[in-house]
Amino acid sequence: MGDQRNVILKIRNLTKTFPGVVANKDVDLDIEYGEVHTLLGENGAGKSTLMKVIYGIYGKDSGTVEYEGKPLEVKSPKDAIAAGIGMIHQHFLLVQEFTVLENIIMGLKADKGIQLDREKHRSRVEKIVERFDIRLDLDEKVRDLSVGMQQKVEIVKVLYRNAQFLILDEPTSVLTPQESQGLFNIIGKLKQQGATVIFISHKLDEVIQISDRITVLRDGEVIETVVNKEISKDDLSAMMVGREVNLGVDIPQIQFGPVGLEVDKISLMNRNGRKVLKDVSFQIHEGEILGIAGIDGNGQEELAQVLWGTLSPDSGNILIRGSNINGLNTRRRMGLGMAYIPADRKKEGLIGTFQVSENVILDSYYKPSFIKGLGQDFNAIRNYSKRLVEEYKIKTPALNVWAKNLSGGNQQKLILSRAIEGNNDVFIIAQPTWGLDIGAIEFVYKKICELKDAGKTILLISTDLEEVRLLSDRMCVIFEGEVSETFRVQDKQVAEIGLLMAGGKRKEE
């Protein structure tokens, strides 16, 4: 442990359990004034749980916490905020129908009677936004913001409450490289002004760029705290998962088959009359991965939902192996061998209050192999689920655990197992490693490469440019609902692709 005079947060022997799970076990941790301290570890390692205890979302089972030399007992986030602690969560806590300003000032003490002085608060918020160079339209409704912009609202919301100890939980998971750098600039300014930052991330490059010290957790326990300048990326990877990790992928070089998926001039208007997809066209062959890169909020979600059948395009055609599937519902598209791995695994990929075994058969419960008489064959379902849990290394205490209680990485493995084992041929894969740790990412990449090797048709949609470049045979860029011409990954430099992502060099009409 470091010089105790420099310690702002001191944790000793902290333990936190949930039914069947020890999330944190005898954790000792010192956070020093004015440092950027990163917590690293696989999903389920206990990083977020530990910080949620500090922030008052969870109560600890045992142990002590001191903040600025005094015992810290927080029973709710309100207590943490009063102490000067703020937290930006991985899943944002914003009211979608409220404006940016309303979300920032919501919950503050009234200025006059029962009302807030909106103009006074607007002026103060504008000063913070300007001070940290955060571009926000304070009158825009949050529902109309991209995920990246919503994160900025959360940051300003915390800063407006005078937090001097900030906890950032996977803050760059939904940001482009440019946006991530903007966030790092904000963190740098916070540090210059004496703030302390806890940074939770699975992206080792950014951890090494931004951190002063790094603490690695595994299975709820602290493995080691190291000084950033004294550790390598490979060493950190091994500490996280307890073994060597290799994220370099060996893309199978196979002969492409016929066109498996064709999208021809798809257009779509949203409920506000704005065109969110504009004559989108591309083809993907069997055995090929086509990657779509782009800044979040440029039509990726709408494109995936149109392909899956949950949104109907205003014009254009979608063909699977030459057959037009326009007008077919999701169930019938599944019957044609299409699978969808959604970006929002909690909302679209799982039913959180269904058991693991129930989620495994969400898209196949009606098949004869799971039917017995007039009901379901629970033995068959249990045996099938057990096999997938073992083969895909899904960490769960039992098959009857609610899916929402699994870590993000294990939820993604569950969704992957369901899609891959369903004998599908066309895969729509959106943000496959969003919020995942390095061990889970390695697993997901391996499975995507296996699908390609098996001759599957794969559309990869990701805001992680390096991920798209690493996995794809060809790629294109989506900007404001318009897709660029496709190109081989090796034919364009990162700077050229970044320019396309920002709207430069648009596709020629």
Phi-psi region at 86: left, alpha or beta (left = phi > 0; alpha = psi -120 to 50):
beta
Choose the CATH number for 258-337+425-509 among 3.40.50.300, 3.90.180.10, 1.10.40.60, 2.40.40.20: 3.40.50.300
Q: Name the CATH superfamily for 4-241.
A: P-loop containing nucleotide triphosphate hydrolases (3.40.50.300)
Residue 40's SS3 state is: strand
User: How far apart (Å, rounded) are the C-alpha atoms in residues 483 and 59?
Assistant: 48
- How does DSSP assign 50-111, residue by residue? HHHHHHTSS--SEEEEEETTEE---SSHHHHHHTTEEEE-SS----TTSBHHHHHHTTPPPS
Residue 6's SS3 state is: helix
Amino acid code (one letter) for 329: N
State mean pLDDT over 430-452. Answer: 85
Q: Where in the chain is the domain with CATH 3.40.50.300?
A: 4-241, 258-337+425-509
Residue 9's contacts (CB-CB under 8 Å, 6 or more residues apart) are: 29, 30, 31, 54, 65, 66, 67, 72, 165, 196
Amino acid code (one letter) for 254: I
pLDDT of residue 175: 67
pLDDT of residue 508: 41
**How far is C-alpha 319 from the chain's CA centre?**
30
Tell me the CA end-to-end span of the chain in Å, nearest whole number: 62
- Phi, psi dihedral angles at 125 (to 5 degrees): -65, -40
Residue with tokens 């602290």: 222
Question: 65-80 pLDDT, tens per residue?
Answer: 999 999 999 999 999 9
pLDDT of residue 177: 64
> In 228-314, at which residue ranges do the beta strands (DSSP E only) sit?
259-269, 275-285, 289-293
Question: 149-194 pLDDT, tens per residue?
Answer: 888 899 899 999 989 999 999 887 666 666 778 789 889 988 988 8
User: How far apart (Å, rounded) are the C-alpha atoms in residues 32 and 9?
Assistant: 7
Q: What is the pTM for the complete model shown?
A: 0.69
Question: 381-438 pLDDT, tens per residue?
Answer: 999 999 999 988 888 889 999 999 887 778 988 998 999 888 899 999 998 887 677 7
Mean pLDDT (the chain, rounded): 89
